[in-house]
Structure 1
């Protein structure tokens, strides 16, 4: 059977959840006094939306083959990402066989290197790459995990990120990751509140349930070290993304300063094999956490996973729903994974990219059978009730 070629690449934008899970209404835990790099300024401390965390919205990339088969994927890049896809990246995809994913990635990345390398541009590349994998799986009638060599386990095991680890335990998860609320600018009182919150959660979940802290790039080396030692008595499993992603030296120093047995994790806002090579070779963390929608897509995530494996490190992707589930189930160095509880009160499990995707599998009692991922491609559909806007049609 002849291999079809890509006929059209389309980039659209949608608002209200989806790929941009920070694009939420008032009263959502994800925006409720969460520590951030901007919390040093009082006017941006109570809400991350105040400094614009939700300004981009979701980018949806659709790749249509000349036989009518269509793949799609999403990321956080909004209208600027749509411009990059339509005006620059599409030339490396359209007219090419749908199987030329490696070549497409290489050309997209090196053609944008003079203004890209990470951030918005790599987010856009990630969406195109994932859409190509989705298209290939749909054309072949196979799930993406089959294209990667097949699962190494029968089910995925999850921890949950949200403001209520005690509820996460009741829902069957192996652990709960709290958003840190108070950063260095809030002084000793903020530090005490952080530790008091952790102590309260430990009392609610018991001794064996994992508790972690997501620090979202908000700390300095001194504060992070003090926080870690203060958290030691509460059996904190790990501290996550404490410092600026560019401060590899600080992250390496922090890892050495942590109490024995406490882990340091990083990489949610890192990109490409070169960024993760720095994290691993400089000893910046124990677990890397690439987001497949941001780090360069599935093609690059496979390289990152192999790099981590060679360094004896675990790769536990940042919560990215089915786009990471298909990889995690095929990797021995990804023994568990994350779901972000996007319900406003973190009191129920709903699809990671609700309401944008349909047929998205969700864990039950903290687990998901790999057989739930057996539909072609990534196994999800766009919700027709979510209005897409294509700002740069060609």
Structure 2
């Protein structure tokens, strides 16, 4: 058969948008996701009650759109807002225009190493991730294939989910395999706060029964002593399944110590705020955790996630990506060492299953009884469309 020459990329556009979606912390008042959750800033009383108070939602969503010269458009959403839009339009676009989306490996390499002097992690890799996801979406649409087919195909017939939110008891009723609670009180609130954390967890255990997974999301807020004490009490008194992102993501040595300190049987997990194959290599080579949790919109996109996942597989480390809707679903369904997935409960209660990245994505599948069938992903690209009715702003047009 002759080689098919795909259309080349003609236009690169980067937009910002406010309100939920990919920047899921950008929510209105009364949402569970902003209710006195332990953070590294909780050492300051004025920033303890709300994560928005210290600026967690200041950037907003980044939307990257790539248009091929036949008019086909691929897009993706992640976080990064206006600074990331500047990076995409003013720097990264030179590696995209005139190129085939099938050249994603070379494009990723050029984007990463051209920005290495001011990037490597964080905002710049968020921007690279958004471009990479848009590339895969475009490639799938041009080939008329879902992304998961291009990644090797499904290894199971359905995705199974645990739910992240303030009401694991309701998550159980809705059919999820487990519930991950936000930790509310950090070290600055002393032993009283620790007692409250255990009381909250014990209350949820009494509601959910002994066989339902319960996990704690600590959002980088603890020190090694507090994390160790919390881990032992939560395991002994409440049967905790895992303790997540207890320490600063830069503290690989602390994570290695926490994994040694943790009670046998309790899993230590982290990686939501880690980036690239090199960061995750550190986590795995230093035996920092039992499960890595890269976010495909933050760690480097699908192109990098494949490398991270392959290394994890070779090390016998489980990889359960941080909740990122269809962008992780298409990957998880293709990997044996990703046996289940995370679903962020974005209902304010949270008492209902609603699309995670609404209102930005149209056609986003949601779990029913905690599951999504592989066949629900059978649309070209990532299988979703951009909601053109939202207020998109393009701050840096070329």
Tell me, yes or no, whether TM beats 0.5: yes
Instruction: Give 3-state SS (helix, strand or coil) of 1:100's partner.
Output: helix
Q: Does 1:229 align with 2:232?
A: yes
Map 1:29-108; keep pairs closer than 5 Å: 29-108=32-111
Q: How do 1:185-224 and structure 2 match up within 5 A?
A: 185-224=188-227
- 1:19 aligned onto 2:22: yes
- SS of corresponding position for 2:22: coil
Residue 309 of structure 1 corresponds to which residue in structure 2? 313
Kindly report which structure 2 residues correspond to 1:327-338, keeping only aligned pairs within 5 A, or say none. Answer: 327-338=331-342
Corresponding residue SS for 2:105: helix
| Aligned partner of 2:371 among 367, 370, 390 | 367
In the aligned structure 1, how far is the partner of 2:139 from the partner of 2:5? 13
Computed over aligned residues only, the root mean square deviation of the Cα atoms, in angstroms, reads 0.5
Distance in 1 (alpha carbons) for counterparts of 2:114 and 2:144: 32
CA distance in 2, matches of 1:126, 1:384: 22
Deviations 1:251-310 (A, max 9, x none): 000000011100000000000000000000000000000000000000000000001001
Deviations 1:211-269 (A, max 9, x none): 00000000000000000111122100000000000000000000000111000000000
Does residue 121 (structure 1) correspond to residue 118 (structure 2)? The answer is no
Could you tell me whether the CA contact under 8 Å between 2:95 and 2:111 is conserved in 1? Answer: yes
Alpha-carbon distance in structure 2 between the residues aligned to 1:365 and 1:97: 40
d(CA) in 2 for partners of 1:149 and 1:221?
40
Distance in 2 (CA, whole Å) between partners of 1:96 and 1:157 is 37
Give aligned pairs, total.
Answer: 394
1:311 CA drift (Å): 0.6
Are 1:175 and 2:202 matched, yes or no? Answer: no
CA–CA separation in structure 2 for the residues paired with 1:312 and 1:199:
32
Report the counterpart of residue 354 of structure 1 in structure 2: 358
With the length of structure 1 as denominator, give the TM-score of the two structures: 0.99
State which of 152, 155, 158 in structure 2 corresponds to 1:152. Answer: 155
Give 5+ residue unaligned stretches, structure 1: none
Task: Select which of 143, 148, 153 maps to 1:140.
Answer: 143
Deviation readout 1:126-167 (Å, 9 max, x if unpaired): 000000000000001110001111100000000000000000
Q: Structure 1 stretches (4+) deviating beyond 3 angstroms?
A: none
Gaps of 5+ in 2: none
CA distance in 1, matches of 2:6, 2:295: 30
Q: 2:12 is matched with which residue: 9, 16, 24?
A: 9
CA distance in 2, matches of 1:367, 1:18: 21
3-state SS in 2 of match to 1:137: helix
Distance 2:70 2:101 in 1: 11
Query: Offset at 1:2?
Result: 2.8
**Aligned mates of 2:31, 2:180 — CA distance in 1:** 16
Q: Which residue of 1 aligns with 2:291?
A: 287
Distance 1:154 1:312 in 2: 23
> How far off its partner does 1:341 sit?
0.2
Partner of 1:263 in structure 2?
Answer: 267
- Describe the SS at the equivalent of 1:99: helix
Please report the TM-score for the alignment, with normalisation by the length of structure 2: 0.98
Q: CA deviation at 1:34?
A: 0.3
Q: 1:100 Cα deviation (Å)?
A: 0.7
CA distance in 1 between partners of 2:307 and 2:215 (Å): 27
Cα separation, 2, equivalents of 1:113 and 1:228: 37
CA contact (8 A) 2:23 2:60 kept: yes
